[in-house]
Amino acid sequence: MKKVLLFITLFGVALSLHAQAPQGINYQAVARNTAGAPITGTSVNVGFKIREGSNGPVIYDETHTGASTGTTGLFTLTIGQGQASVGTFSSVPWATGTKFLEVLINGASAGTQQMMSVPYALFAASGNQGSQGATGAQGPQGNPGLQGATGLQGLQGQPGPAYVPEIVIIEERTPANSGMGGGGAAQNFTRRKLNTITTGANSNVSLDVSNNTFELKSGTYIIQAAAPANRVNTHRIVLRDQSNDQGVLFGTNEYSPLIPNLATVQTTSHIYGKLEVPLNSTRRFRLEHWVDSTNTDTNALGNAPSFNGLGVNNIYARVVIEKIQ
């Protein structure tokens, strides 16, 4: 079976505004193989796990069997309407704590990310309900207005083009099994050496990788980024705008103990957020990897087995950019 890369756009959409909250969240994703091409015209088994905190317990787990990918690799599901194995969707306490969503494709984890927002109806349904107020008095009925003339029917517009996600992937690749190495001072950062661009079909996102940076033209983007590390204690990735030297997106704080010769203790800092580039302008960004401590051995920032690319290169950092407007 082909390996599947999953690039996620998560939409929290209330299906109705009736008195009872709809038990589901719409979900769309594009399934791609390891070469970046869409996996079309097939079916995959998709699992969703909702966790209390980034590494907390699973409070809800469900599976969707035989999700069909379309002509662009796009498939659509509703979280909350699969076959549940842990908990019930209606009992998820949306109003308390921070929820994280882990996605599994054919049983393999495709990553975990924070659920940045929850449909209002689900959030309200999980909170405390106040008492119902008294019914007010009925107001007087107004006089009916005059009926206006029937307007002319407008011309029918042409159907718009089908939506194709504009995906760009930037990666830091080095020869297989070559450790990143330590270096630098504690509490400093390593600027990730982004050196490979892979673009999806029909993508017009303008990029120029140089000096470990990339450039975006005006528009609205969804940014996902990830960088692993070994033996650096606390670490975090930051996306910085070089025009004003300000951080614009901040990754999760992760911890990998500074223990010599313990290469398996690897954690990954993740970014997921929206980025706005003003009209008629461009912005250049840099991905930085901040560490609390450094280690001089060759694996201090770690090999990256979970980001291996085609068995030829190791991928130590990845930025996935989707232009949505």
Q: For residue 77, what are the β-bridge partners?
A: 27
Residue with tokens 């907390």: 56
Cβ atoms of 87 and 111 within 8 Å: the answer is no
What pLDDT is attached to residue 319? Answer: 85
8 Å CB contact between 209 and 219:
no
The model carries a pTM of 0.45
String of DSSP letters for 168-203: EEEEEEEETT------S-TT-EEE----EEEE-TT-
Q: Say what the pLDDT of residue 314 is.
A: 66
205 vs 302: CA distance, rounded Å = 31
- Residue 209, CA atoms < 13 Å, CB-side half-sphere: 17
Tally Cβ neighbours within 10 Å of residue 187. Answer: 11
Note the pLDDT of residue 270. 92
Q: Which pLDDT score is estimated for 50?
A: 94
> Residue 8's pLDDT is what?
43
pLDDT score recorded for residue 9: 40
All structural domains of the chain, each given as residue ranges with its CATH number in brackets, are 5-126 (2.60.40), 166-323 (2.60.120.40)
CA–CA dist 319, 235 (Å, integer)? 17
CA distances, 214 to each of 7, 211, 224 (Å): 20, 8, 14
Structure tokens at 156: 């029918």
The pLDDT profile of the chain, 325 residues, written as one tens digit per residue, is 445 555 444 333 333 334 455 678 888 888 777 787 888 888 889 999 999 988 889 999 999 998 998 888 888 899 999 999 999 998 899 888 889 999 888 888 888 888 876 655 565 556 555 567 788 888 888 888 888 888 888 888 777 555 455 677 877 776 655 555 544 444 456 666 677 777 665 555 667 676 667 888 888 999 998 888 777 788 888 888 988 889 899 999 988 887 766 656 778 889 999 999 999 888 888 888 887 766 655 556 655 444 444 444 567 788 888 888 7
What confidence score (pLDDT) does residue 243 get?
Answer: 84
